[in-house]
Structure 1
């Protein structure tokens, strides 16, 4: 098992979040897709909102060996990325309204139930509802919020999804919130989504978020020198971190953070989207 503390690093380059990313139309979706029951509160899916779909598709297929499928015969705005025979992420076109180097954003989806109640609770706790609960036929019902300090996250209720055909990849394994006020952020996620909050002993401005006796995410302090808006970074497992980083940088990514003697890193893809990488543990 990975040491939880390895995720709690204190700095990275700024990610400029913009709710205008979410103005893009939701894709037409097939009626029959499948997912296994996921643990509540854990990241299970992510979508890349990008101003350059072709460049994003090229980077992720060339770097990770993923394959691409369109999402519906008439839909050219949304593409599914597959890791082998398992769906792993989506790529959605949107109008690029950010700066020249940051035209993309990964938005992770955490598993939840009673989605409408969660969204109502989030709104009551001063979150902004960016996308109301809607039929995300790929995997159930989905909504997107910005927490009170600007962190953008999606909620996905898969309880009613068809489980007969296709499984989702299990390689999304961690999320970390970089926050201007970690204590306030921890309180929001505790009160809104029933996370158990555990203060990290070595760093009193950092917290773990747990559900069902398992740590699902962490919150750390965002340095004052960066844009003061909370932002989530989502981590995905790779087989060999060194090789993946070498391929990623060859394909135009920049390594934002890589602790010495650690099995994780954060990269910015060629369009500026931040993605966390962790090395898959041997059996």
Structure 2
């Protein structure tokens, strides 16, 4: 999995501005219950970077029952708002350059109290900004960075507040984000530094699992990648009632199963698949027994 090109990241940030215009123009901001303060370390928005948005709509509509609202982003391409049972899930950004087809992936945006300060801290700690910081109309300020080990992530400071923690997460919605990386301890220090979240270390399977916590809630996980040839990346987890059945359905819809559910891996609660464009995602049984994903 290669790094996203800068153009794709800038388009993604511009799409957040398009989202702001759509929401403010339709009154649909009511789909969110918003916090008064930024929820440090929480993923507050996700975009699917896709070379074929129509194929992505077919796949995810068939897999999760999502609804889609097509619009145009400021760069003139296709942007799709995703909803599940009337609630926003994220967006689909068109990456139209065929030479970049293998860049398809999910890109999450972390809430930070100050985007410019977070970018400066990231650079001081070995990361780098690849898009922004940019002012996004009435939605706030955003940037995209690559962390010191190569994972791409968005940063967002919303003007209106972040989606709060009161909504119950349902099947078809995003329930967790997890960084697979080479050095999980260094990654924990990096993300704690730029978001203000706290790292909690938990023994797991002979190693350790790190949870980033903010406002006394678990926000994201960090774990060592399973093989050295895997480039560090953020894995987005989607709620399903049956991971095995969902993985089979993903395959029927043109995706591929990377890792089938197994009792040895988190009690069989997880499958990992790719969509037809190659974007990787986790299918996560929800609600799951136990405290953490």
Shorter-chain TM-score tier: 0.7 to 0.9
Aligned position for 1:276? 282
Structure 2: distance between partners of 1:225 and 1:191: 25
Aligned CA RMSD, in angstroms, stands at 3.0
| 1:264 paired to 2:250 | no
Q: 1:113 to 1:259 in 2, by over 3 A?
A: farther
Structure 1: distance between partners of 2:211 and 2:162: 32
Q: Is the 8 A contact 1:88 1:169 kept in 2?
A: no
Q: Is the 8 A contact 1:234 1:275 kept in 2?
A: yes
Aligned position for 1:118? 118
**Alpha-carbon offset, residue 271 of structure 1:** 1.0
Q: Which runs of 5+ in 1 are unaligned?
A: 1-14
Q: Is the 8 A contact 1:112 1:155 kept in 2?
A: yes
TM-score in terms of structure 1 length: 0.80
Structure 1: distance between partners of 2:159 and 2:33: 9
Q: Is the 8 A contact 2:138 2:159 kept in 1?
A: no
SS in 2 for 1:16: coil
Structure 2: distance between partners of 1:44 and 1:243: 28
| Mapping 1:181-220, distance limit 5 Å | 181-202=183-204, 203-204=206-207, 206-220=209-223
Aligned position for 1:4? none
Segment drifting more, 150-159 vs 268-277? 150-159
Structure 2: distance between partners of 1:237 and 1:246: 15
Q: 1:57 to 1:83 in 2, by over 3 A?
A: same
Structure 1: distance between partners of 2:110 and 2:169: 14
Q: Is the 8 A contact 1:63 1:248 kept in 2?
A: yes
**Alpha-carbon offset, residue 205 of structure 1:** 5.1
1:232-277 deviations in Å (ceiling 9; x for gaps): 1011223443442232111011122233242222211111101122
| Mapping 1:59-138, distance limit 5 Å | 59-72=59-72, 75-94=76-95, 95-98=97-100, 102-136=102-136
Aligned position for 2:3? 17
SS in 2 for 1:97: helix
TM-score in terms of structure 2 length: 0.78
Q: 1:189 to 1:50 in 2, by over 3 A?
A: same
| 1:37 paired to 2:34 | yes
Q: Is the 8 A contact 1:205 1:220 kept in 2?
A: yes
Structure 1: distance between partners of 2:256 and 2:207: 30
Q: Is the 8 A contact 1:145 1:154 kept in 2?
A: yes
Aligned position for 2:233? 231
Q: Is the 8 A contact 1:198 1:209 kept in 2?
A: yes
**Alpha-carbon offset, residue 159 of structure 1:** 4.0
**Alpha-carbon offset, residue 137 of structure 1:** 5.3
**Alpha-carbon offset, residue 183 of structure 1:** 1.8
User: Higher relative contact order at CA 8 Å, sep ≥6: structure 1 or structure 2?
Assistant: 1
SS in 2 for 1:119: helix
1:68-101 deviations in Å (ceiling 9; x for gaps): 11235985421111112112111111124346xx
Segment drifting more, 211-220 vs 138-147? 138-147
Aligned position for 2:291? none
**Alpha-carbon offset, residue 221 of structure 1:** 1.5
